Amino acid sequence: MMWSKKIVYFVRHGQTEWNAQNIRQGSEGPLTAEGRAQALAAAKRFPKHKGHPQVIISSPYERTKETAEIIGKELQKKVEYSDLLVERRNPSEVVGHWGQEVGVKKIISQIDKSYHPDDLRFSDEENFMDLKMRAKKLLAFIKRRNEKRIIMVTHMIFLKMIASYITYGEALTASEYNTLSFFNPLNNASMAICSYTPHWFKKGEWKILVWNDLAG
């Protein structure tokens, strides 16, 4: 016996002013005009009737909230919010700073280099182990939901962690995450589609069906 499959449409938020300027973001940052157009293009990809997504859940950050509300308006769906979907918290030393500043580059290089101990922490950021645990919690949250077709609006780094955890599970290391992250870009307002198939006789199965898919 097999229960019905869940389909999750992960959508990265549209472009922000700070994305365009390569500034490290916190929770603030509205969409640009291009970002709003990207969000609307993503929304128009979903069917409004048969096979339509049943719920939209978003990170509460300004850029994801705005993206989700554009999608919700197009699909005539209210948006729910969950802190499980927020972006990785950057060290406070880099938030609001240009990514090419010498001091910022040094900190980010230390955090994002291809290999470091899994528990490395520079200051007050969310480190690899924190992010891995949150991805695990999000997948458990999805399993508990009754809906079979879910839109989740989130952020690039966290979405790459979700994909990494689906791929490697509990064995995921910082080195594997950074390798997967480097070789798998994720554009603004792009979509990653994942499925979850529960089984009564074995562990449920997650699959990544589509990655970095953009409206044509």
The predicted model scores a pTM of 0.90
Rounded Cα distance between 18 and 148, Å, is 34
Spans in the chain with pLDDT lower than 70: 1-3, 20-27, 96-100, 113-116, 216
Q: For 154-189, how does the pLDDT look when each residue is reduced to its tens digit (9 = 90+)? A: 999 999 999 999 999 999 999 899 899 989 999 999
Does 43 map to a domain? yes
State the CATH number of the domain containing residue 94: 3.40.50.1240
Tell me how many domains the chain contains: 1
In the chain, the largest separation of any two C-alpha atoms, in whole Å, equals: 58
Does 122 map to a domain? yes
Domain extent for 194: 6-213
Closest C-alpha among 121, 152, 117 to residue 138: 152
Does 176 map to a domain? yes
Does 197 map to a domain? yes
